[in-house]
Structure 1
Amino acid sequence: MNPDTSSVYRQIFEHHPTSQLLVDARSGEILRANEAAVDFFGQTGAQLVTMRLSELIADRSEQGGPAIQHRLMTTPLPLILSPHIAGNGCSDIEIEGTRLHGDDERPLLHVTVRDVTERVRTERALRDFEEIFEDVPVPFYRATPGANGRFLRVNPAFVQLLEADSAEELLGHEIASLYVDPAQRANFSNALMQDGEVFRYELHMRTVKGREIHAADTAFRHFDESGHPVFDGALEDITRRRELEVELSYQARYDKLTDLANRRHCETVLQTETERSDRYGQPLSALMIDIDHFKRINDERGHAEGDRVLEWIAGVLRNRVRETDLAGRWGGEEFLVLLPSTPAAKAHRLAEELRQAVAREPDGGSTPVTISVGYAGYQHDEGNARFMQRLDRALYAAKGDGRNRVIAAEPPGPP
């Protein structure tokens, strides 16, 4: 090495986060160890440089450390030997060697040692299942990596989950074809190749018969006898859990009776839209709607009929607002319609359309149903509270003026 290269090498060697050893290739003596190696092997730097590689690292075979040194010297590099055991017996390690020559032309080995204890533990755990592989109810598989990967082995539970007629049918499938988005397979494969293992990685898949499912994949990467990477994993069907999550999320945002947005969701969207209007100057309008004489409907026709009227009004709103609008049940018999990118004049036209539609359409009951509507256009930096107060006042003005009418909100006063 020239002096500049030697200096850079020493800097990298000393500060590398993984254990680094510089070894005399002939004698096996450790010439230098970085701080990471000192921490990992539990020896001082002075102690390590009095040891040989064969004393520090034990091969799982009976040949021991000298065999490791010989392989590092004679096998084309880079060579990865995995796994071995640290001399203290407490860790499984992966060894990578690089051959160098010192300034005196002495052959050297630069040895990198990585702790792979957790990976090895996972491998052992999966091997323990080998004897009951065919009977275990957990879907297991072995596969090759990459976007064009294929299954090497699957158990009956895996065949059942993916609705195949046989294991052979799955072994002939490109794995990417079982993903709703084939690019997700490539992302999963890349993550597993990079990290060595994944835990409950969520995937959107489809079965051989085309049914979409959601699965959580726990897998690890290892190398077969030929040194090729393969994935071993267990798939968990989480389709029902995902459906429940979607259902619970929906229930948290929508009113059960009318299937419109509930008040909390309305307040969230209102906050978002007023902030957008303040930031970008886009128009925003809203309608506040109340069913006229709703208490009379409940008292005279019963609460079941009152619920039916609420559902009917909700249907009228859904059929006449845009996808970009939000119709919600504000509370009781009151409804809120948020109209992004809509000036007050257009809000007025929609309010009249809704009022007339309710008044002329039969609701199936013996008593006519009408609505009162207040509407307002949001003013820059007005804030949610003042905007809603103006809407409320407009609604009550419509009700006080005889009901079955539309009233515009008064302009906002001074703050």
Structure 2
Amino acid sequence: MHHALDSTCKALVENLPDGVCYVSMEGMVLYANRSFANLLGFASQQVLLGLSMLTFMHPDYHVPMEDFLYRVLQKDHSLSAIQVRILGSEENQRWMEIRWIDIPVEEGAFLVVRDLTSYKTLQEELLLQALTDELTGLYNRRGFKMMAEQELKHCHRLKNEVVLLSIDIDTFKQINDTYGHDEGDRVLKLVAKTLETSFRSSDIIGRWGGDEFLVLALDAPSGAVDLLTARFKQALFDISQRQGLPYMIAVTIGSAFSNVKTVSSLEQLIQQADKAMYTNKHR
């Protein structure tokens, strides 16, 4: 009966949908079921035996994994699971959760491994949706604030100068009222696309709300504002002509800058750029 039960348990573990492995005190794989081998892209679990768990991890996760294994093998219950990226290409990232199962054994530990790739992909998609403006594909207010604050801190540490532009579409209400909201949406998309082609990919661009856009131009001296705005305005003029629009897309722009002498927060930069934009609009 005992032998039959052992055989049944082994067959059960062998056919579980989640990966199961047994690692030595040195973190070497001593046992692996089929699901664990499949998760790592191996046809047979036999080739895994004797290999370090770090063999399968992306280098960025070697240190966290070593810390996790150390705690597990010391029977430290403060960290029972870890999420790690599997070694592979940047285009095809794969993730797994490794969970310690506290089964009494003389040495080593049993680990249960679950594929997290679909969950991580969904998580990234949801985060992207939460930070992106659905109409234009630019950062929305939340996304712009999060990315711009992060980059602004980085620029402050490096003592780099940055410029923030506040951009408002002229006569947008008239375009909406005359040609309809679909045409208004078209204008917003054209402005967004022109912003992306007029500024560097490293610059932070967002739709702040309505017909207002913000650009945080990184490592850009304040003396370059006229050049940046003139290039963007010319690009809008050109696209209006190429598209054969019955109106000309024009914008009013205000700017603010932060450098070593005048270190400003993102909120201060936005307020200053907005004020400059409204001043320019009413000239």
Q: TM-score range, shorter-chain basis? A: 0.7 to 0.9
Paired residue for 2:80, among 196, 199, 217? 199
What whole-Å deviation, never above 9, does each CA across 1:250-288 have from its counterpart, x for those lacking one? Answer: 333332222222223434556567778888875332111
Structure with more contact order per residue of length (Cα contacts < 8 Å, sep ≥ 6): 2
**Closer, same or farther: CA 131–336 of 1 in aligned 2, 3 Å:** same
Paired residue for 1:366, among 233, 242, 245? 245
**Pair 1:399-2:278 in alignment:** no
Offset of 1:223 from its aligned partner? 8.2
Offset of 1:382 from its aligned partner? 6.3
Q: How does 1:8-407 map to 2 (within 5 A)?
A: 129-130=9-10, 132-146=12-26, 149=28, 151-171=29-49, 175-181=53-59, 183-184=62-63, 185-196=65-76, 198-206=79-87, 212-220=93-101, 229-268=107-146, 283-362=161-240, 364=243, 366-367=245-246, 368-378=248-258, 380=262, 387-401=269-283
> Match for residue 77 of structure 1?
none
Offset of 1:337 from its aligned partner? 1.0
Whole-angstrom distance in 2 between the partners of 1:132 and 1:373:
67
Offset of 1:332 from its aligned partner? 1.0
**Closer, same or farther: CA 216–272 of 1 in aligned 2, 3 Å:** closer
TM-score w.r.t. structure 1 length? 0.54
Calculate percent identity across the aligned residue pairs: 27
**AA in 1 matched with 2:273:** L
Offset of 1:235 from its aligned partner? 0.7
**Closer, same or farther: CA 129–290 of 1 in aligned 2, 3 Å:** farther
TM-score w.r.t. structure 2 length? 0.76
Q: Which structure's residues are more often helix, by fraction?
A: 2
Q: Does the 8 Å CA contact 1:273/1:284 hold for their aligned counterparts? A: no
Whole-angstrom distance in 2 between the partners of 1:217 and 1:273:
33
**AA in 2 matched with 1:392:** D
Whole-angstrom distance in 2 between the partners of 1:390 and 1:264:
19
Gaps of 5+ in 2: 1-6
Q: Which structure's residues are more often strand, by fraction?
A: 1
Offset of 1:386 from its aligned partner? 5.7
What whole-Å deviation, never above 9, does each CA across 1:338-385 have from its counterpart, x for those lacking one? Answer: 234433211221111111111113563533322222223348366666
